[in-house]
Amino acid sequence: MESGARSSLPSVAGAFRAALPEWWPVLLGMAILFVPTFYYLFTGPWIGEEQGHGPIIFGLALWLIYRKWPETLAATTPPRTSWTGWPVLVFGLLAHVLGRSQKILLLEIGSIILVMAAVLLIKRGSKALRVLWFPFFFMLFMVPLPSEFVAAVTMPMKMAVSWATEHLLWALGYPISRSGVILQIGQYQLLVADACAGLQTLLTLEALGLFYLNLMRHPSAFRNIALAILIIPISFSANVIRVIVLTLITYYYGDAAGQGFLHGFAGMVLFVTALVLILSVDSALQWLVRRMHGGHDGHGGPGGGHAAAPLRTKEAT
């Protein structure tokens, strides 16, 4: 049974303490290598709105690795070194040097993932990377996309959010008009910025949705795939709600309120709205899956019971 297999694994803290004598020189070396990078990120890009999701993604990925470490050790004992780790390490170090010297953020952040993956391959082999595949995939969401691609995709998204905001507020009786991505409400003009309706917001919400799926580990493939796809319209809806909130704040309290503290508060509204929508859609999908299985939840037991859950060693996403 799965519960019995899991109970035989060492605790997470115990597994880390046992591995520390072997791993501390490696961790120290990686810390020395990447301290300048993280200092730059935490004092530059990661305090801005466009890349502000970076530390959240990285922290959650490290937590996932920490959580899966006992399973990783159990699956890779005795450890087998994979030779593919060495070329990956060389490539990661070259990307770090180039990204650091030329200030190419994509390479500098990407090198962190490459070096971590290479060290894992060298120390524990490819099986360890298979166990921890999701945290490394999850970290890809903190790598910034090329600015040309972001600019090309962001403008249509801003136009769509502006159009939806205009029509919704007009339907509610507000004096609003639009010219491109500029909204005019009352005496105020608002420019829908990249951060309010951009590709990066979509990717951040997609990442958080996949993180939620990974934690829930739904047995239904339909439920997982449907929710992952529906996160895209959920992100769009959350962006529209955020722009509507900022527009109404400006309309009722003035431009200073819309651009001050309440602008940051609207960012919180975005993620809270997205979380509520994800949970609501997931509940609706759970109900639909039960209907499809004739009142069962896919485990084989009525009413969502987990007693008869099959043995699973791979996380659903």
* Active site residue ranges: 196, 242
- Interatomic CA distance for residues 75 and 60, integer angstroms: 22
- Interatomic CA distance for residues 186 and 188, integer angstroms: 6
- Interatomic CA distance for residues 68 and 57, integer angstroms: 17
Whether the CB-CB separation of 163 and 243 falls below 8 Å is answered with: no
Query: Which DSSP letter does residue 4 get?
Result: H
Tally of residues, the chain: 317
The count of C-alpha atoms lying within 13 angstroms of the C-alpha of 167, restricted to the half-sphere facing its C-beta, is 7
Question: Beta strand 188-191 with 176-179: parallel, antiparallel or unpaired?
Answer: unpaired
Tell me the three state secondary structure of residue 123. helix
Whether the CB-CB separation of 100 and 37 falls below 8 Å is answered with: yes
The answer to whether the Cα torsion of 61, 63, 68, 70 is positive or negative is positive
In sequence order, what are the residues at sequence separation of 6 or more whose Cβ sits closer than 8 angstroms to the Cβ of residue 40? 108
The type of residue at 128 is A
Whether the CB-CB separation of 290 and 296 falls below 8 Å is answered with: yes
- Interatomic CA distance for residues 1 and 257, integer angstroms: 57
